[in-house]
Every structure is written in structure tokens, then in C-alpha cells.
Chain A
Amino acid sequence: MTTRRQFLIGCSAAIAAMAGGRVGNLVFADPRAAAAANDNMLVMVFLRGGCDGLSLVSPYDNPIYVAKRGDASKDGIALSGALPIAPQNPTFDSSLGLHPNAAPLKDLYDQGHLAIVHACGLDNDTRSHFDAMDYIERGTPDNKNMSSGWLARHLQCTHPDGLLPSLAASPAAPVSLLGEPNAAAVTDPGSYSLSGPWHYTANPDTRYKDAMLKTLGTFYSGGDLVQQAGARTVETIKALAGTAAYTPTTTYPEGSFGDSLQTVAQMIKLDLGLRIATVDFGGWDHHESEGVNDTWGPFYRLTATLAQGLSAFYNDLPAYQGKLTVVVMSEFGRRLGKNLSNGTDHGHGNVMLVLGGQVNGGKVYGTWPGLQDENLDQREDLRITTDFRRVLSEVVVRQLGNGKLGSVFPGITPQIYSAANRLGIVQGSDLPIDYSSALNPLFLPIARR
């Protein structure tokens, strides 16, 4: 693997110094970091819009659920044809099944690669997409003023030295990577190159070739956001020079979700030191005609894409599965009762999926709160019994080797995550947990509005 350090030696000294300048400061600010870090990888898949977890991993024969969603045979949207799974979890008071289009996920579940956490999420009363995503991705519930994302802070703790340690497979980086100056947003590695007049870009003549890129490299050397992004772009162009179009070994679904997953798979196989990748999958806000059971239905079709995509991605990377964890989450679940447009409005608790070679799969984790009114959040929505940070923390500590949870999730307490109350979703070692933010006392949230 080419390390970022080796690569940068080949760049001009000015670019190297400035592009990595902020990281460099942070690196030296905390020499203890990275002691336990390893080369495992996390892929965060965010289902934007509020995925209906009750239709994805469904209590399909729970009479309250069926009554509130409406029987599928009577124009309702309760799930029919569920694929039953064994939750290995005594708190469930009804059967549990996956959506029929999630058959590839059932295979992964049955093979022990996929774990599910139910009644899980952001335990905050917001029903706003944008607030909820912000809180989750900044890693600070109830504080939108945190200047960085939780994945950015994890990278700050571990500062992996690969060439491309973090990747957003999207036109722009999500909030979870906010503040990570080295995060690359790349939609297609094979075409990531400078376009300009032929003589000064692709000309094989060594005197003119890349002349534009060389000049451009001198433009971006400052510390502000545009300067950093420009310097990082020049680095990325150089790193990906000559990358061929990707030929996957499995069949990905058509569309941006499959494309993004392929980009991540390609970057993993390019061996550029990738540690953290993010993938966005939008379109889950189904207030109207959710179409859980209909071939035309938006939920029906998105679920097929989700399951096929995750399966294709995971099986495209057999040599990397032992180092790979994929976490799938959404900003919130949807209301237990359907609305009059045969859709569902914003709700609360939801599922998270954890897929990987080190995952203790084939089990549904968490505590099922029940669907009786008194057990619901606001008497309407699935209650949250597992804070999303408990799930992510376990991956951060036991798979990514970072015990500095106080930096990754400022404000986290042993009640939210500790070796004693972790769910046991992934293998790996427990580490001493640092609940404080050793890096910088400024993390403290500025006054809540």
C-alpha cells in the first residue's frame, strides 16, 4: 500500500505541507492516538428520508401493527409475504420478518454476516429530517453547532496514513465527514482527472504533459476551505491517475446507490488505505402511497435496491470481508399508524443493520418495547430502546480500535456505551474508554439555542 506520506514526498513540498497542514498539527497534538488503530474499514450507508424499518424488519403478525398499518388485503400497507427470521431475542412478542425483496439480506443474516438492531436510533424528540440527520452525523444529539462530523473526529483520533483514508462516494461529503480536510468526494475513480487542452494535459510529451496540473498545484496552498479542497483535489487527481474503469465480480443494482457502492469497492481494491467510506441512499420519505407490497411501490423498489446492493457489495469483496463493517441507518423510523394517503409520517425508533466479516450476525439485538400505546413514543411511534451511539461505539472501539469515544461522540456517558452494556454485535477487543475529549476542551457544546 502506498502511504500518504510516501505519496506526498512525491508532491511538491509546498502542497504537502499545506494540504496536510491541519492534519499535521492535530497529529502532533495527540501523540498517543492510533495506538490501537488498525486497518479495518467502516462503510456508513445512510438511508435519507426516514426508512420505514417496520416494513423492512417487520413485526408482520403483530395485531397492533396490522391494525394500525391496515391489512394488505384491504388496501392497507401492513407487510405481506414477510420472510420470517429467527431473532434469537426473547423480547419480541410477535414474529419478525424481512421484506420479501430483502431476500439477499436474509441470506446474509442466515449466514451470520448480518446483524440487526431494532427499536434503535436518535433518542431526541425531533421529527425533522434535517435536525435528526444533523444530530446523528455530527454525533451530538441536540447540538447542531458542533463544527465537525463524528467520522471526521474518529479520523482525527486515528489519523490513518493511507493515501485516501476517507471517501464520500457522492458529489459532496456528508455532515459526518464535515471538518475532515482529507475526505475525498469521488463519484467515479476511473474518470477523476483534469480536463483541458490536450497538449497541456494528456500529451505524452514529457515537457508539456500535465503542465496545467503542475501550475494548478501552486494555486492552492492556504488554510481556508476552498484552499484545502483545491489542494486535496490535486492530490486526488494524482493518486487516481491511470485508474481503469471498474469491473465488479458481482451484479450491482442500477442507479446511484449501486454506483456509489461500486466506487467504494473499487477504492478498497485499489489499496489506497481506505478506512472510512460513506454512501448515501435517498428517497425513503414515503408520506404518500408508500407501496410496501406493490411492485410499483416506492418502498418495495427501494428495498430491492438496498438488499441487492448490500449483497453485491459484500460479495464483491471476499478478500476484504474480515476487515470490513457496513452499518446501515436512517434518521428516524416512521409512524406506526399509516396516514390517510396510505403513507406514513415521521416517526421515531428504527432498525440499524450491521454487516461484516467480524459481525456476530444472525441475531436481532436490542430490546423490543412493544407496540401498545403506553409503550410507544408520544403514544404514536416505535420507542427507542437503543441509542444509535451504542451501536456505532461498539464498531468504533472493537472494530476500528479507537477507544476515544468522548472525542467521537462528545457528551457520551458509560450509560450509553461501556464494555458492560455493549450489545456484542461485533467481534474485537474492548479497550479502555476515554469519555473525555482529550484533544481539545473546545468541544463543549456552545449554549443551546
Chain B
Amino acid sequence: MAVSRRGFLASAATLGAAIPAASLFDPIPVAGAAPQLAGTAPPLAQIALNRMGFGPRKGDVAAFNALGASDSARLAAYVEQQLNPAAIDDSACDARLAAARLKIQYDANTDPDPAKSYPARNEAAPLGTLSQTIAELWPRARGVAPYQPWSERVRPFEEVRVATWLRATYSRRQLNELLVDFWHNHFNVNAYADATIAATFPLYDRIMRANCLGNFRAMLEEVAKSVAMQYYLDNVSNKAGGGEGGNENYARELFELHTLGSDNYLKFYDDRGSVGTITYNGQTYVRGYIDRDVYEAARCLSGWTLNNGHWEHPNPDDGTFLFYNDWHDNALKIVLGVNFPYNQGINDGKQVFDLLCAHPGTARHICGKLCRRLIGDEPPGSVVEAAVATWMNNIAAPDQIKRVVRTILLSDAFATTWGKKVKRPFELVVSYLRATGAELPIDELLPNPNDGDYWGSLLWLYGAAGHRLFEWPTPTGFPDVASYWANTNGMLWRWNLPYLITQPWGGNVALDLRAQTDADVPGGSCIQIVDSWIGKLCGFSITPAVRTALIDFLAQKALGGDPTQPPRPMNGEPNNSQIISERIAATVQLLAMSPDFQVR
């Protein structure tokens, strides 16, 4: 008798199936609950390597375990090591960057005007712009004579993106890479919002790299002056006067996203007297910000622009920061309850940054985000407050962020939680590449000029997962919670990408799962092979039913296969290697598709 769905569900409900009785009406902490895994927690090495970076490579777990006699000693040593990235030898990754090739291809353009003409190019070229200066990059940004095709103008951004993949996969400075990604998201710009941003993106990336463990106030001002942020949020044209307002785009996101956060947005009050105050460490601060603060801050930041050839300040035209007093509103202002005197010039903007960075609301907003990144979607309030205390006690320290990150990583919450963080697609794919030792592609110049564009294929396919690095359109940055990423589109691509990117047409990532299997467990049974791969990909006891299903799949037990024997053909095929190679590949892909591999 066919079981109707309702009948079945009714009995399941009656039996008290292990389904949380959450409803759509519960407050967020219930319905948005992060995944929990059954079974025992993984070893601390797995927690550290998965959450302070992009997952272990071969040898990483052993290296971690050699760092001390106890878990806490090992973690403390590893944290210190990772917090000092410059002391970590990363020459192997540097060699990868030097060896990288990214194709660039375009047709010639011939125009009666020689300045608009350029020759064709088809080359698998090195990453040449990563360390270029603004003087070197600015001509691409301007898009004026001599003309360049679009792909040439945006090339610096494409190089940064490839370098980001390479570093996440190969760098030993894993925490540094994770934090660079964090700050890129915090100060998100869509690199394709404007060719100027794409052309100068290596500079923006370097701001994140230089400051990711540094001082927040210093980073904030560098970001404010950067070509990327100036163009992305329009402050480049924030000029006061004429009875019309300046451009408040940047000022608003400065408050809402970069510093205080919307939790401290009190919505519109024209009446400053009703804002109220809070105290922290005996100091008094305004309770939050109101629209009037945003408008006034936009006035403070008027005239913060770039030497970009604007007709009102045509020279120099070199992309450097410019405070242009003619566009600055030098009248009285009040921001966050503080009176700004006349004629402060550039110091108006700096004072706004000072006020925002000193406010405990900013500390709480950013420390909360850091904890969400490093621990789980809903980190305990105690660790957030501990991070806030470190932040507030080191407001001016040059290593303020490093100290905050250390507080978080050495907290109990970090070491004792697992599985409360869904890997985003980038983290998922990179962790797979690292665990399997797969090799990212090197583009080639082939007889067919359209072939050999492996990075293009990889990034295009990967983009369908909804996590196209540096292209999130709005200034929020990519979401960092499971409720966004756990969906049917993303899940399908998570499952397919490990296979697709290894195809010649899908990225040409080099990965021979059969050869690795034969080397790791020569002549091994299906059970041994599956356990070997669980060790490499997960390093902990995964859900037992998943392990059993993988073993049964590899053996094709339903067709009579024996899990205690090596896998063999079951369809009467000749005993050639292809059918078994494919089955091993499918088994490893299935392991990567399992819930156990989706979280960290």
C-alpha cells in the first residue's frame, strides 16, 4: 500500500521524530540555528585548521600536533605562529604566484585615430600587476588615450582574484588569508562597479593585507582614501555648496556598515536631545546615530576626493588622494553630539573617524562579525564582550586587531564548538582542493586560440554558486550565516563543483583520485579506501550512516559487491581501470557532498 505523504508525516510527528519543533515564528536564534553534528567533536587540530583557515593540507595536522604537549599548548603556539604571518616561510606559495598564468585575449582595433588603435593580444601572461603602484595602474583606470580594451583595463582585478585563489589554496599564512577575506567583505566593493575600481584593485587588496592584523582606525582612513572606495560609494564627487547636498552614499555606509552598524542606528530623530547616552568603562557615549549624523558626516567628508582629472582640479591626474578645500563645507557641524568648529578642513573627516572608531558600538559590531566568522553564526555573547574589551583597551595600538583576534581564538568558545559554521562555496571548494592536494590550473596558449583559458572556465562555473569573489553588488559584503547559504541552488553547486572543476572544460584542476588511492591504500578494501578518504577530507568520525553508505556505494553492495574486498566491476564490464577509477572519484565526490564536509 502506498503511504501518503501526510499519513507518513503524521506518524513521524507522533513518534516524536528528531526534528526541531521550530516554527517560522520563533525568534532568529531558533529558526536560524546553525547545524549541529552528531557524534564526537573533531580533534582540536581540525577545528583550528578549518576555522583559522581553509582546511588542512597533507601534513598540517601532524605539524599542529607537534607544536606542544597538550591541546591548549598546541593551539596557543599555532595561534601565535599564524598571528605573525611575516615570520612564516611562504616561498612555496610565492613560487605558485610567480608561475601562475592567466590568459588575456582580444582582437586588434584599428581606428583612423592612432590613439584609439591597439594590436591584438593573445597570451597566457603572468600576474604582473599585483605589486604595481598607483602611477603604474592609473592609466588603465582612466580609460583615456592611448585606448585599451576592457579586458586590459580590468586585468589587475582579475589577477588579484586568481592570486586570492592561489593564496587560499597554497599559502601557509592561512589566518592572514582568512582575515584578508574578512576585511574585504567588511569593506566590500564590487570590483566591477566601475572600471576604475577594477584597474586599481591591487592597491585595495594591499590595504586589506597591510592592515588585517593592524589598527582599525588606520585601516578605516586608508579605505576612505582608496580609489576603490572613493568610486564605489561616490565620495569622489562629494562636494558641498549651491544649496544642494553633497553625496551622502559613503557617509551612510561608513556609519551603518563600516563602523557603528545598524544596531546603533536610531532611525530618524531630528531632536538630538532624545538620543541618550550609554557608558562603557566609565566613559559616556551617545547611544547611537541618527540621520542627521549621517548628513553632517557627509558634509565633513565633502572634498575628500581623488586627483582624477576632474575639470575643477585637473592636475595632477594621478589617482592619488586629494583633499579639495573648494568642495569642503567648512561651516559648523555636529556629529554624534560633538560640535565641529569652523574651517577644520580635512580634520573634519578625521574627527568623524576618530569618534566612530572610539565608540563601543563600533567595537561590538565588528567584534561580533569577527566572532561570527571565526566561531559560528551565533557566537556566545561572552566571547564577543571579551573581544570588545580587548578592542576598547587597544584603540590606538598598532596591533589592535591582532590582539582582538587572539582573544577570540584563545577563547573556550573557539576550541569547544564545531559545525556551527557552514562553509561558503569558496571555503568549501578550497578546502576540497587542499585536502585532496589538487593543483589549480595554469592557463596555456594552445593552437586553438580559444582553448587553454582554464581560470576563466573555473571562475565562471564557480560563480554559479553565488559567491563570485569581490563581485557582491551591495556594500554589505557576502552574508556570513547559514540561512543564506543553505539553499537548493547553492547546494547543487557545492555538490557539482568538486567534479566540474577537474574537467578539462571546467577548470582543468589536476587531481588523480585513483592514483592517490592506490598510493595511500594499495590493494585496499572498500572500507579501507573510504576510511582513508574520510581521514584526508574530514579527519574525524563522520556520521556513521554516511560512512556506511559510502562504503556500500564503492563496493556496489546492492549489486552483490563485498565491502571487505577492493572495488570491482559489477556490470559485467571488463575489469579495466576506468570503471573503478570513476567509482573511486564518485565516492570521494560523495564524501565532499556529505553534510559532514559542508560545515566547520
A interface residues with partner B (beta carbon < 8 Å): 4-5, 8-9, 13, 16-18, 20-29, 48-49, 124-131, 145-148, 152-153, 156, 168, 170-173, 178-180, 183-187, 192, 194-200, 205, 207-208, 211-212, 215-216, 218-220, 222-230, 232-233, 236-237, 282-283, 285, 287-288, 337-341, 343, 345-346, 378, 407, 410, 437, 439-440, 442-443, 446, 449
Chain A residue contacts of B265, Cβ below 8 A? 126, 128, 131
**Closest 5 CB pairs between A and B?**
A24-B9, A171-B466, A125-B268, A148-B24, A197-B582
Extra 15 A-B pairs, beta carbons < 8 Å, given A225-B486, A227-B35: A24-B5, A27-B6, A131-B262, A171-B464, A184-B488, A192-B492, A197-B585, A216-B495, A228-B486, A230-B491, A287-B234, A287-B247, A345-B247, A439-B25, A443-B25
State in angstroms the CA–CA spacing of A190 and B551 once bound together.
32
Q: Contact between A24 and B12 (Cβ–Cβ < 8 Å)? A: yes
Q: Contact between A21 and B487 (Cβ–Cβ < 8 Å)? A: no
Q: How many Å from the CB of B70 to the closest CB on chain A?
A: 32
Q: How many Å from the CB of B517 to the closest CB on chain A?
A: 14
State in angstroms the CA–CA spacing of A439 and B545 once bound together.
35
Chain B residue contacts of A343, Cβ below 8 A? 234, 247
Q: Is B583 part of the binding interface, using a Cβ–Cβ cutoff of 8 Å?
A: yes
16 A-B interface contacts by CB (under 8 A): A9-B3, A9-B4, A13-B8, A26-B23, A128-B252, A147-B24, A147-B25, A148-B25, A197-B582, A199-B586, A207-B559, A222-B18, A223-B19, A224-B36, A283-B473, A410-B25
Query: Which residues of chain B (13-31) have a CB below 8 Å from chain A?
Result: 13, 17-28, 30-31
Choose from A23, A192, A225 the contact partner of B482 (Cβ within 8 Å). Answer: A225
Contacts known (A131-B262, A340-B242); A125 close to B593, Cβ less than 8 A: no
Q: Contact between B464 and A338 (Cβ–Cβ < 8 Å)? A: no
State in angstroms the CA–CA spacing of A28 and B8 once bound together.
12
Q: How many Å from the CB of B588 to the closest CB on chain A?
A: 10
Contacts known (A5-B6, A147-B30); A225 close to B24, Cβ less than 8 A: no
Choose from B234, B488, B552 the contact partner of A236 (Cβ within 8 Å). Answer: B488
B interface residues with partner A (beta carbon < 8 Å): 2-6, 8-10, 12-13, 17-28, 30-36, 233-234, 237-242, 244-249, 252, 256, 262-263, 265, 267-268, 270, 291, 294, 422, 464-466, 473-474, 476, 482-492, 495-496, 499-500, 543, 545-546, 549-550, 552-553, 556, 559, 570-571, 579, 582-583, 585-586, 589-590, 593-595, 598-599
State in angstroms the CA–CA spacing of A123 and B262 once bound together.
18
Q: Contact between A337 and B26 (Cβ–Cβ < 8 Å)? A: no
Choose from A171, A340, A439 the contact partner of B245 (Cβ within 8 Å). Answer: A340
State in angstroms the CA–CA spacing of A36 and B309 once bound together.
64
State in angstroms the CA–CA spacing of A26 and B20 once bound together.
12
Q: Please give me the residue from chain B that is nearest to A70 by CB atom.
A: B244
Chain A residue contacts of B238, Cβ below 8 A? 341
Q: Contact between A345 and B19 (Cβ–Cβ < 8 Å)? A: no
Chain B residue contacts of A226, Cβ below 8 A? 35, 422, 482, 486, 595, 598-599
Q: How many Å from the CB of B476 to the closest CB on chain A?
A: 6
Chain B residue contacts of A205, Cβ below 8 A? 571
Q: How many Å from the CB of A46 to the closest CB on chain B?
A: 13
Q: Please give me the residue from chain A that is nearest to B9 by CB atom.
A: A24
Q: Contact between B589 and A196 (Cβ–Cβ < 8 Å)? A: yes
State in angstroms the CA–CA spacing of A49 and B570 once bound together.
56
Q: Please give me the residue from chain B that is nearest to A9 by CB atom.
A: B2
Choose from A148, A178, A215, A341 the contact partner of B549 (Cβ within 8 Å). Answer: A215
Chain A residue contacts of B256, Cβ below 8 A? 128, 130
Contacts known (A125-B291, A147-B30, A226-B35); A233 close to B492, Cβ less than 8 A: yes
Contacts known (A171-B466, A224-B33, A341-B237); A199 close to B595, Cβ less than 8 A: no
Chain B residue contacts of A4, Cβ below 8 A? 5
Q: How many Å from the CB of A378 to the closest CB on chain B?
A: 7
Q: How many Å from the CB of A50 to the closest CB on chain B?
A: 11
State in angstroms the CA–CA spacing of A218 and B276 once bound together.
55
Chain B residue contacts of A232, Cβ below 8 A? 488, 491
Q: Please give me the residue from chain B that is nearest to A179 by CB atom.
A: B24
Q: How many Å from the CB of B386 to the closest CB on chain A?
A: 21
State in angstroms the CA–CA spacing of A9 and B20 once bound together.
23
Tell which of A23, A187, A218, A288 has the most Cβ of chain B within 10 Å: A288
State in angstroms the CA–CA spacing of A156 and B31 once bound together.
14
Chain B residue contacts of A378, Cβ below 8 A? 268, 270, 291
Contacts known (A5-B5, A24-B12, A340-B245); A171 close to B571, Cβ less than 8 A: no
Chain A residue contacts of B582, Cβ below 8 A? 197-200
Q: Contact between A200 and B586 (Cβ–Cβ < 8 Å)? A: yes
Contacts known (A126-B267, A215-B550); A187 close to B489, Cβ less than 8 A: yes
Chain B residue contacts of A130, Cβ below 8 A? 256, 262, 474, 476
Q: Contact between B549 and A219 (Cβ–Cβ < 8 Å)? A: yes
Chain B residue contacts of A199, Cβ below 8 A? 579, 582-583, 586
Chain A residue contacts of B262, Cβ below 8 A? 128, 130-131
Contacts known (A127-B291, A212-B589, A340-B242); A219 close to B594, Cβ less than 8 A: yes
Chain B residue contacts of A222, Cβ below 8 A? 18, 595
